[in-house]
Amino acid sequence: MSSVPPTDDLDLGFVDRLVPAENAEDLYEHAPCGYLSTLPDGTIIKVNETLLAWMGYSRQELVGRVRFADLLSAGGRIYHETHYAPLLSMQGQVREIALDMVRRDGTRVPVLVNSILVQTEDGKPEVIRTSVFNATSRREYERELLRAREHAESSEARVRELAQTLQTSLMPPSLPDIAGLDLGAAYRPAGRGDEVGGDFYDVFQTGSDDWAVVIGDVCGKGAQAAVVTALVRYTARAAAIRSKRPSAVLNMVNDGLLQHGGERFCTALYLRVRTAGGKAPRITFASAGHPMPMQISGDSVSPVGEPGMLLGVVERPILSDSSLQLDPGEALFCYTDGLTEARRGEDLFGDERLVDLLRAKGGRGADEVAHTTVDEAVRFQDGVARDDIAAVVVAAPRI
Amino acid sequence: MDVIRRNNVSVSGRPDGQPMIFAHGFGCDQNMWRYVVPAFSDTYRIVLFDHVGAGGSDLSAYDRDRYGSLDGYATDVLEICEALDLREVVFVGHSVSSLIGVLAATREPDRFASLVLVGPSPCYIDDEGYTGGFSRADIEELLESLDSNYLGWSSAMAPVIMANGDRPELGEELTNSFCRTDPEIARHFARVTFLSDNRADLSRVRTPALVLQCSSDAIATVSVGRYVHEQIPGSEFVQLKATGHCPNLSAPDETVRAMKDFLAARAG
């Protein structure tokens, strides 16, 4: 704050000549804001020069003849009746209400209005005092802000739609119907789904009674991750024609990733599922740095297989194949780390919760198991997944 | 679904009294009835609620399809009646809620004993041979008013407002909280309110109805009030001395008197 000059330096005579002009009457009439007083029903009983000048009315035209709301635009009048008047009545004052007043010549003045309700001693409304601030430039600016917000919202909606379309294209639209096999899958993108995630899964046929199930997690998110996801998915499909051995297929995916360049690596679990002749499904699988699948057999739930190395990092990752057979009622639960690494504060969803959940629900249909576990992990995070979550369940139906 | 929580329903008054349910209009919340309710709480079982999207209602229950017409709001009223097992209901509706009451009473006529319609308008937009008082452009202007005034709404404030809307003593930052809600919802409710045309529903009312009309009302004019009265068979029409659109706030005594006269005549 600037300091007031010492009184000695002040020309007191000059001040004396100014002060009388700064009387209450003049302060009221020529204040830098409009003033108006109305009866509780809005009838104008007093108005200052400033407001008259803004509005182009004479005092006689307004006082006793016109209600405050009559000076507003039609939209403003509705706002006045539905918000302003009720608020004034309920809380004795209103502040910063944006309205448009209509001048005598029909043009508009955007204003900001504050009012207080003066009551008689026994609490009856007596007079409403209103101050009116011209807000022309402010309103312009606010309109720009609104337009910017609308623009941002529509861009966001477009991006989300794009992300969802892209995401959908990275997963099979539906799972194939395979005789002697019960398949289920669930996927939940991170956050509000406005970014393409790196999790994916795929199921495709490689021969008669011979199927491939892939689930994977490409590091990162967004368009770059989507490109790599598509690359991994289609390389795996192409590789599956050349080799039936899961570790060999994953090795070809690894080659594809390295040739593609860039810094993206990926974890993946590849399952070869054979269902020949109504026999129990036989599964051969290999993991490349991916969470081990859980084998569910009655009350017993345990991880199976060998971890293996990430894809897209080294030339010849160490990968090994494991085999198992699913007896009727047994299932293999494959998932991405978004599930077990779901977090609530410091608390991790973790393997133990997953095992408990699978122990309780693992005997249900494959699709139900997949959805229940993913939903549970999302609920654990209060409804907003921090990372993508995917789950695929391969089960041998009960006989 | 918990209807009571969804609509922030509060029940007071005489527990074994005839139920009287109050429905607020577009703009604010159940506080709109604060000066009228005390006159009835000795005799009636009072049910107050907020429409979904207003006041202390559960905003997450707001569904653009369900509340895309006044019918969705009427369904809520019927669900509240059902949840509290209300019968012989006196329905008191302000502004758009008087039409919500009309819709509810035509759907379940046995549920309602009488309707009090404060400042009703079945259609706000002018039509051939009908003067609603507004044009479509006027309503667009209202939506703009809503936009400019919601610059004061911030998502950070929303939980505070929602939690403390009924406790104005909590301070300055809660100013205007009675009439403040999520801007998207307010816009949508404004559209549904001011662009609805329920003229055809009036003649289907079989419940005794009172039309309470203010003398000078910028939202629902006297001629609109008379129209409602003429269309609802056997309805009563009372023109109040009060002006404006909210006699329940500006002239509670006169409003209460007119309601009591009407209800006494029904009972006698």
Q: Is the pLDDT of residue A282 over 50?
A: yes
B151: pLDDT confidence band, cut at 50, 70 and 90? low
Record: contact B145-A146, CB cut-off 8 A: no
Record: contact B176-A142, CB cut-off 8 A: no
B163: pLDDT confidence band, cut at 50, 70 and 90? very low
Domains of chain A (ranges, CATH numbers) = 7-139 (3.30.450.20), 175-395 (3.60.40.10)
Amino acid, single-letter form, for residue B26: F
Chain B closest CA to A371's CA: distance in Å? 23
The candidate with the shortest Cα–Cα distance to A355, out of A299, A304, A397, A291, is: A299
Which residues does chain B have within 8 Å of residue A382's beta carbon, measured at their own beta carbons?
A: none
Which residues does chain B have within 8 Å of residue A137's beta carbon, measured at their own beta carbons?
A: none
Tokens of A36: 């108006």
Cα Rg, chain B, nearest whole Å: 17
Q: Which residue of A has its CA nearest to B242?
A: A41
Record: contact B250-A41, CB cut-off 8 A: yes
Is B217 known to be catalytic? yes
Q: Which residue of A has its CA nearest to B176?
A: A87
Chain A closest CA to B141's CA: distance in Å? 5
CB A341 within 8 A of CB A321: no
Cβ-Cβ pairs closer than 8 A, A with B, add up to 113
Looking at residue B266, its pLDDT comes to 82
Is B148 known to be catalytic? no
Record: contact B27-A86, CB cut-off 8 A: yes
Tell me how far apart the alpha carbons of residues B236 and B214 are, in angstroms, rounded to a whole number. 14
Cβ–Cβ contact B78 with A under 8 A: no
Chain A closest CA to B76's CA: distance in Å? 22
Average pLDDT over residues B104-129: 96
Convert the pLDDT of each residue in A109-166 to its tens digit: 999 999 999 999 988 899 999 999 999 998 888 888 888 988 998 998 888 888 888 8
Tell me how far apart the alpha carbons of residues A317 and A265 are, in angstroms, rounded to a whole number. 12
Looking at residue B172, its pLDDT comes to 47
Looking at residue B176, its pLDDT comes to 64
Tokens of A49: 């020069």
Average pLDDT over residues A231-255: 95
Is B95 known to be catalytic? yes
Strands lying side by side in the sheet with A266-274: A199-207, A210-218, A266-274, A282-288, A321-325
Which residues does chain A have within 8 Å of residue B191's beta carbon, measured at their own beta carbons?
A: none
Looking at residue A233, its pLDDT comes to 93
Domains of chain B (ranges, CATH numbers) = 3-123+198-267 (3.40.50.1820)
Around Cβ A121, how many Cβ atoms within 10 Å? 6
Q: In this complex, which of A75, A81, A97 lies closest to B138 when CB atoms are compared?
A: A75
Chain B closest CA to A227's CA: distance in Å? 36
- Which CA distances in Å does A197 have to A226, A258, A290, B40? 7, 21, 16, 59
Q: In this complex, which of A41, A78, A94 lies closest to B142 when CB atoms are compared?
A: A78
Q: B24, B51, B229, B245: which is the annotated catalytic residue?
A: B245
CA A370, A374, A378: angle at the middle one, nearest 5?
165
A276: pLDDT confidence band, cut at 50, 70 and 90? confident
Q: Which residue of A has its CA nearest to B216?
A: A41
Q: Is the pLDDT of residue A245 over 90?
A: yes
Tell me how far apart the alpha carbons of residues B121 and B133 are, in angstroms, rounded to a whole number. 10
Average pLDDT over residues A51-66: 96
Looking at residue B162, its pLDDT comes to 46
The distance from CA B225 to its chain's CA centroid, rounded to whole angstroms, is: 15
Looking at residue A198, its pLDDT comes to 87
Tokens of B215: 């003398």
Q: Which has more confidence, B24 or B181?
A: B24
Average pLDDT over residues B69-91: 97
Record: contact A82-B28, CB cut-off 8 A: yes
Cβ–Cβ contact B27 with A under 8 A: yes
Looking at residue B45, its pLDDT comes to 97
Rounded to the nearest integer, the mean pLDDT of chain B is 89
Average pLDDT over residues B229-254: 94
Chain B closest CA to A357's CA: distance in Å? 27
Q: In this complex, which of B140, B141, B179 lies closest to A86 when CB atoms are compared?
A: B179
Q: B95, B97, B114, B121: which is the annotated catalytic residue?
A: B95
Cα Rg, chain A, nearest whole Å: 36
Q: In this complex, which of B139, B146, B219 lies closest to A81 when CB atoms are compared?
A: B219
Percent over 90 (pLDDT), chain A: 62
Give pTM, 2 decimals: 0.70
Chain A closest CA to B260's CA: distance in Å? 22
Q: Which has more confidence, B3 or A197?
A: B3
| Structure letter (DSSP) for residue A103 | -
Cβ–Cβ contact B131 with A under 8 A: no
Q: In this complex, which of B28, B148, B218 lies closest to A142 when CB atoms are compared?
A: B148
Q: Which residue of A has its CA nearest to B124?
A: A78
User: What is the ipTM score, two decimals?
Assistant: 0.87
Helix (H, G, I), strand (E, B) or coil at A241: helix
Record: contact B219-A78, CB cut-off 8 A: yes
Convert the pLDDT of each residue in A300-339 to its tens digit: 999 999 999 999 999 999 999 999 999 999 999 999 999 9
Helix (H, G, I), strand (E, B) or coil at B151: helix
Convert the pLDDT of each residue in B26-74 to its tens digit: 988 999 999 999 999 999 999 999 999 998 899 889 999 999 999 999 9
Q: In this complex, which of B134, B138, B168 lies closest to A91 when CB atoms are compared?
A: B168
Tokens of B242: 């009060």
Looking at residue A105, its pLDDT comes to 97
Chain B closest CA to A193's CA: distance in Å? 19
A364: pLDDT confidence band, cut at 50, 70 and 90? confident
Q: In this complex, which of B27, B243, B250 lies closest to A82 when CB atoms are compared?
A: B27
Q: Is the pLDDT of residue B154 over 90?
A: no
Cβ–Cβ contact B139 with A under 8 A: yes
Cβ–Cβ contact B148 with A under 8 A: yes
